[in-house]
Chains A and B, each alone.
Chain A
Amino acid sequence: MVTARDHEIFSCTSEMAATCAVFDWSTTCLGPVDGWSQGLQTATAILLRSGFPMCLSWGEDLVLLYNDAFIPTLGAKHPTALGAEIAVVFAEIWDQVGPLQRSVLSGGDAVFHEQLPLVLERGSGPEERFFTFSYSHVPDVGRGGGPGGVLAVVSDSTRAVVGARRMGLLRTLATATSEVTDRRVAATTSLSVLSDASSELDHGACYLPGADRRLDLAGSFGAGRTWPESIDPGADEAVERVQASGRALVETLPKTHDGARVRVSVPLRVGSPDPGVLVLAPHPLRPLDERHHRFLRLVADHVGQVLAVASARADEQTRLALLAAADRAKSTFLSNISHEFRTPLTLLLGPLEEALGDGRPLDPTDLTSMHQSAQRLLGMVDALLAAAQGDASPRPAAPEAVDVVGLSDGLLQPFRDAADRAGLALSIRLDPALPIVELDPGLWETIVLNLVANALKYTMEGRVEVVLGAHDGALVLQVRDTGIGIAADEQARVFERFHRVAGPAGRTIEGVGLGLALVTDAVHAHGGTVSLTSTPGEGSTFVVSLPLVEAAASATARVRFDAAAAAALAGHAVPADAVPAVVDHDHPGPFVVVVDDNAGMRHHLVRSLSGLGHVVACVDGVEALALLRRRKPDLVVTDVTMPRLDGIGLLREIRADPDLAATPVVLLSARAGGDAATQALDTGADDYVVKPFTRDELVARCRTTIELAALRASRSAEAARATMLAGISHDMQTPVSVVSASLQMLRDADLDAEQRRELLRRASSRTAQLAQLVAQFLDWSRLSAGVEIAPRAEHVHLAELLDAVAREHDRARLSATAASSTRVVVCDRARTERILHNLLDNARVAARERLLVEVVELDRQVEVHVVDDGPGVDDRVRPWLFAAFGPPGRITGTGLGLHVSRAAARAQGGDLVLADTGPSGSRFVLRLPSAGA
């Protein structure tokens, strides 16, 4: 008998051939090899010699034979799988592949599947693998009757499939985060990409280095887990190991029915000294082999890179923003500097150039102002130098023995006057018990002068307190004020160089913003501290604390200081001479108003322009506007930068007021350059003069401006006159034609009595109308020639007057109060009638149905109200209602009525106003003085 060992089938060199050769096949349904059918023998021979993974399941029981290449697919099931029933060997996938095998076995078509996922058990837990395989039927050739078997040719595509998925994930990580410039966003975006790859990763979290070397949770994915918000590596051994070793750490997780089996913590290099940690739990069906480890490290590398790049980009943006801010600050500073220098320069150059030109000696008053200006320039230059030096190498303190009380007292003298001028109480309490101390007197001067000057500058009313004393071994200076205060978000910044707080200014807005920065430098040079508390609207307190070092008893103490510097600072904190402007009405020549917040400049302007006419000075736009409304000027010359209302603001107010709109305005500014000039001219300035300017230049340009304005005025006056005359003749035509035609017919025609009566009545009424028009025109002529209307003062019974007037207007009704009033008024009867006719004519045109005359009796006056229910006065027309010619484009009527009526009403001691107007009507009120008490 031929044993299996010797059988030709098994005579090839493979492990399975050898195993099959010694296998006791009689223990299986196949029986001994001798009894095998031809088909089985051939199939087995092919199987054992093939290098491609194959297995053969034979017979009704589907007994399994397989080759070497198939062994990996079995894993731990080899070698006991040989000769066993395939349904048992692959029990875990039998419900998927079993039906396929059975169908092939019973003669069905061959089966082919590509990358079919199957969860196999190969001895280390379930794994998902992807198989590309074919099942084909092997007939039971040579025996007949048996079902034969199924040949499976199998290729494990798992590596390709999972590999492709992993590559896809890494690619998505890169593209999803390519534009991110924020680390947080980078972390959450990355985690969301990882979350989408749920077939590969079950859950995970990202920890980034935070404060105190802790790791903070930046995000997580995968539901149903809680992660600590922050980990202390010192306390967490696993994390510490990951960070220190730079290698991944694998933990086995407690078994849950659906949970991951392992968790891997990988170091995350994000460009900071300490790495973060990326924790990933792979999908339970992916075994953690070397490839998998490499993949997880790649994921961590990618995520780390994304985070590092995002951080770098964010830093870059911050840097750019800071550079831009610094650039802007520099430009603002340079602009301010230029501006601050120009005013004192004008005050120096002006008088000097005059003196050089005229050959006359300088005026003594000019000398004082020039000296002050020069001091101011010097002060600014010193401050700038100190600031520049402070930036480069902070000046160290050079302490001397100083009588700090005496020195401070002397420094504060000019501030007493300044406080008086400002109407503030200045309280100075210097502790006389303070000893002679070691102090740098120059730096001390800087500290005291700047803090007190600021306090005065920014306090409009109330008090400033200066307290100097010793406290716990420190020399403490407190400067407290009841001023405008500093907002919380500005308090840190006020000590910065060149920082000026935006918002309500102090008494003057001169200054470049160095004061407090210099104070800070001086304080720090002594090793001291400066602090600020402030409440906007209530006040501020600055506290300087320096180490108190007593000087040696024998040292001579210094009290000398620079009085001029102190005086200059005090003078600029509270500008001198806020004397209100006095207007001389009898002065001949043009009335010129100059506006500037700098006292020296005001003086200079008044003197320079005194040759033009009567010149009056104001300190700012608000004061100027009030003055302009009392008396119309022929010229306004104004600085641009002033507190409360600046030059541009003043110009706008002037142009918006119909009474003042045509006033010539010249702007003086320290801002040179086309843009500033264009803006000024666009806003309506007549001219724009840049500081420094000479007296001659200023005078010439002002004179030209006045002349041009006069020319424009006379042209527009002529145009207005022409329009007015056209209007007058138009208004007169209808009455004239009625009167003329009536008279002619009365003379020529044969008319009946009724017709004659009617003609006469109408002709009389229109004649009266003509008389009124003429009288109105005469009054207007007086007004425009500057002659006052001189009304008569007659005692007139009001009710009777109203009745007489109302009769002539058929729709007008008197109210009960009007009809029954017993008041007597003092007025010019004819003019008052004209005013009332004017109001009633207007009302009749406007009214829909109602035209009512009411009377309101007051103490010393009586009000006559003319009320209509018309559509009201249009908003655009309203500002022009009482003006002489009304808005442009008006062609009907003279436009004079209300203008003359109001002037007449005022001339007789009353007024005429539009009390109310709207879509349901208008109410005009004529006020008349009442006779008697």
Chain B
Amino acid sequence: MRDVDVLVADDDPDIRFVVEIVLRRRGWRVTSAESGAEAVAVLSGDQAFDALVLDQNMPPGSGLEVVEWLRGQGDRTPAVLFTGLVSVLDLAAAEARGVRVLDKVAVEQLPALLDELVGPDGPGGPPSP
């Protein structure tokens, strides 16, 4: 099994902590960011990721903004968007950008969702350089 790299961005330290534990238990490598702006900074760097777990509300910047930026670069890395404000979010717009939406209280479903996106034995959808 190859290494899977995940970027987790959320402004709440406890959420980051919990998600990191969940993902590291599966042997995946986790990089953290505290805001949308920081996530963009990390994604602009050298490291490539197999999946992204993004909070929506993490000023400066938001999860959707990060995805918009990424897709604008032609990057199709799968992303999971944690959100509590489902009513405010345009679900259709999210799906169109290849983003899966997950309710924040259902953190335990995250691993299964990521498996689906990344593939159990290796990368599913390869990120284009």
A and B: bona fide binding partners:
yes
Tell me, yes or no, whether B41 is within 8 Å of chain A by CB. Answer: no
Residues on A with C-beta less than 8 A from B18 are 737-738, 741-742, 745, 759, 762
Size bin of chain B's contact surface: 20 to 34
Q: How far is the CA of A755 from the CA of B18 in the complex (A)?
A: 10
Query: Which residues on A sit within 8 Å (CB–CB) of B87?
Result: 726
Task: Tell whether, in the assembled complex, residue A730 and residue B84 are in contact, meaning their CB atoms are under 8 Å apart.
Answer: yes
Which secondary structure characterizes the binding site on chain B? helix
Tell me which of A729, A737, A762, A892 has the highest count of chain B C-beta atoms within 10 A of its own C-beta: A737
**Cβ of B17 < 8 Å from any Cβ of A?**
yes
Contact B88 A738 (CB under 8 A): no
Q: Are A734 and B12 in contact (CB under 8 A)?
A: yes
Q: How far is the CA of A751 from the CA of B24 in the complex (A)?
A: 11
Residues 718-742 of chain A, each 1 if its beta carbon lies under 8 Å from chain B, else 0: 0000000010011001101110111
- What is the bound-complex CA distance between A150 and B58, given in angstroms? 112
Asked if B105 and A740 make an inter-chain contact with CB atoms under 8 angstroms apart, the answer reads yes
Chain B min CB distance to A757 (Å) = 12
Residues of A within 8 A of B88 (CB): 891
Question: Is A749 an interface residue, CB under 8 A from the partner?
Answer: yes
Q: Are A751 and B21 in contact, with the CB atoms below 8 A? A: yes
Interface SS of chain A: helix, strand, loop or mixed?
helix
Per-residue 0/1 for B43-65: is the Cβ within 8 Å of any A Cβ (1 yes, 0 no)? 00000000000000100000000
A646 CA to B103 CA, complexed, in Å: 56
Interface residue B97 (Cβ < 8 Å from any Cβ of A): no
Closest chain B residue to A755, Cβ basis? B21
Q: Among A741, A751, A758, A759, which residue has the most Cβ atoms of chain B within 10 A?
A: A741
Q: Whole-angstrom distance from the CB of A731 to the nearest CB of chain B?
A: 9
Say if the beta carbon of B107 comes within 8 Å of chain A.
Answer: yes
Chain A residues, CB < 8 A from B103: 733
Q: Is B90 interfacial (CB-CB < 8 Å)? A: no
Q: How far is the CA of A742 from the CA of B105 in the complex (A)?
A: 12
What mask results when residues 395 to 421 of chain A are scored 1 for a CB within 8 Å of chain B, else 0?
000000000000000000000000000
Task: Give Cα A740 to B109, complex, Å.
Answer: 12
Give complex CA distance A749, B14 in Å: 18
| A759 close to B21 (CB less than 8 A) | yes
From known contacts A730-B85, A734-B104, A737-B105, infer whether A766 and B14 are also in contact, taking CB-CB under 8 Å: yes
Is B22 positioned at the interface, with any CB of A under 8 Å from its CB? yes
Do the beta carbons of A736 and B21 come within 8 Å of each other?
A: no
Contacting pair A734 B17 (CB below 8 A): no
Contact with B along A871-896 (1 / 0, CB 8 A): 00000000000000000000110000
Complex CA distance for A184 and B105, rounded to whole angstroms:
90
Q: In chain B, what residue has the closest Cβ to A735?
A: B14
Shortest distance in angstroms between A763's beta carbon and chain B's nearest beta carbon? 8
Q: How far, in angstroms, from A737 to B21 measured CA to CA in the complex?
A: 14
User: Across the interface, which residues of B come within 8 angstroms of A729, CB to CB?
Assistant: 84
Q: Which of B18, B22, B57, B84 has the most CB of A within 10 A?
A: B18
Contact digits for B11-29, partner A, Cβ 8 Å, 1 yes 0 no = 0101101110110010000
**A256 contacts across to B, CB distance below 8 A:** none
Asked whether B104 lies within 8 Å of A762 as measured between CB atoms, the reply is: no
User: In the complex the two chains form, is B107's CB within 8 Å of A740's CB?
Assistant: yes
Name which residue of chain A comes closest to B12, CB basis: A734
Contact A733 to B105, CB < 8 A, known contacts A726-B87, A762-B14:
yes
The number of chain A residues touching the other chain, given as a range, is 20 to 34
Q: Is there contact, CB below 8 Å, between B57 and A741?
A: no
Give the complex CA separation of A730 and B86 in angstroms: 10
What chain B residues lie within 8 Å of A742 (beta carbons)? 18
The answer to whether B57 touches A892, judged by C-beta atoms less than 8 angstroms apart, is: yes
Provide the bound-state CA to CA distance between A338 and B18, in Å. 78
Count how many pairs of residues, one from A and one from B, have CB atoms less than 8 Å apart in the complex: 53
* Chain A: CB-nearest residue to B11: A734
In the complex, are the beta carbons of B15 and A734 less than 8 A apart?
yes
Q: CB-CB < 8 A to B25: which residues of A?
A: 749
The CA-CA distance from A928 to B18 in the complex, in Å, is 39
Q: In the complex the two chains form, is B84's CB within 8 Å of A733's CB? A: yes
Give Cα A427 to B18, complex, Å: 89
CB within 8 Å of B: which A689-731 residues = 726, 729-730
**Contact mask for chain B residues 31-50; partner A; CB cutoff 8 A; 1 contact, 0 none:** 00000000000000000000
Q: Do residues B17 and A737 form an inter-chain contact, with CB atoms below 8 A?
A: no
Knowing A751-B21, A762-B17, the reply to whether A741 touches B84 (Cβ < 8 A) is no
Contacts of B85 in A (CB 8 A): 730, 891
Q: Is A175 an interface residue (CB 8 A)?
A: no
Contact, CB under 8 Å: A745 / B84: no
Q: Known: A733-B84, A749-B25. Is A740-B108 also a contact (CB below 8 A)?
A: yes
- A614 CB to closest chain B CB (Å) equals 43
Q: How far is the CA of A736 from the CA of B105 in the complex (A)?
A: 6
Task: Write out the residue numbers on chain B whose beta carbons fall within 8 Å of the beta carbon of A730.
Answer: 84-85
CA of A759 to CA of B20 in the docked complex: distance in angstroms? 12
Per the bound structure, the CA–CA distance linking A766 and B88 in Å amounts to 25
B112 to nearest A CB, angstroms? Answer: 13
A317 to B81, CA, bound (A): 78
Q: Determine the chain A residues whose CB is within 8 A of the CB of B107 once the complex forms.
A: 737, 740-741
**A226 contacts the other chain (Cβ, under 8 Å)?**
no
Chain B residues whose CB sits within 8 angstroms of the CB of A726 once the complex forms: 87
Interfacial chain B residues near A738, Cβ < 8 Å? 12, 14-15, 18
Find chain B residues with CB under 8 A from A892 CB. Answer: 57
Kindly state whether residue A744 has any CB partner on chain B within 8 Å: yes
Q: Inside 8 A of B17's CB, which chain A residues have their CB?
A: 758-759, 762
Considering only residues 749-805 of chain A, those with a C-beta below 8 Å from chain B are 749, 751, 755, 758-759, 762, 765-766
The closest CB in chain A to the CB of B82 belongs to: A737
Q: Is the CB of B15 within 8 A of A737?
A: yes
- The residue in A733, A738, A745, A766 that gathers the most chain B C-beta atoms within 10 A of its C-beta is A738
Whether the pair B104, A733 counts as a contact (CB closer than 8 A) is: yes
Distance in angstroms from A754 CB to nearest chain B CB is 11
Give which listed residue, A733, A745, A765, contacts B21 with CB less than 8 A. A745
Q: A726-B87, A729-B84, A892-B57 are in contact. Are A737 and B22 (CB under 8 A)?
A: no
Closest B-chain residue to A738, C-beta based? B14
Contacts of B19 in A (CB 8 A): 741
How many Å lie between the Cα of A541 and that of B18 in the bound state? 88
- 1/0 per residue, CB under 8 A from B, across A890-920: the answer is 0110000000000000000000000000000
CB distance from B84 to the nearest CB of A (A): 4
Q: How far is the CA of A736 from the CA of B19 in the complex (A)?
A: 14
Cβ–Cβ contact A741 & B12, under 8 A: no
- CA–CA, A459 and B119, complex, Å: 92
Beta-carbon nearest neighbor of B103 in chain A: A733
Q: How far is the CB of B65 from chain A (nearest CB, A)?
A: 16
Known: A733-B84, A740-B105, A766-B14. Is A745-B22 also a contact (CB below 8 A)? yes
A349 shortest CB reach to chain B, Å: 57
For B12, B22, B105, the residue with the greatest tally of chain A CB atoms inside 10 Å of its CB is B105
Bound together, the chains give a CA A729 to CA B21 distance in angstroms of 25
Q: B88: nearest residue on chain A (CB-CB)?
A: A891
Show 18 A/B contacts (Cβ-Cβ < 8 Å), sorted by A: A729-B84, A730-B84, A730-B85, A734-B12, A734-B14, A737-B18, A737-B104, A738-B15, A740-B105, A741-B18, A741-B19, A741-B108, A742-B18, A749-B21, A755-B21, A759-B18, A762-B17, A892-B57
Among all A-B residue pairs, the 10 with the closest Cβ atoms? A733-B84, A741-B107, A738-B14, A741-B18, A737-B104, A762-B14, A737-B105, A733-B104, A730-B84, A737-B107
Which residues of A are in contact with B by a Cβ distance under 8 Å? 726, 729-730, 733-734, 736-738, 740-742, 744-745, 749, 751, 755, 758-759, 762, 765-766, 891-892
18 extra interchain contacts, Cβ-Cβ under 8 A, other than A737-B105, A741-B18, A762-B14? Answer: A734-B84, A737-B15, A737-B104, A737-B106, A737-B107, A738-B14, A738-B18, A740-B108, A741-B19, A741-B22, A741-B107, A741-B108, A742-B18, A745-B22, A755-B21, A762-B17, A762-B18, A891-B88
| Residues of chain B having any CB pair with chain A under 8 Å | 12, 14-15, 17-19, 21-22, 25, 57, 84-85, 87-88, 103-108
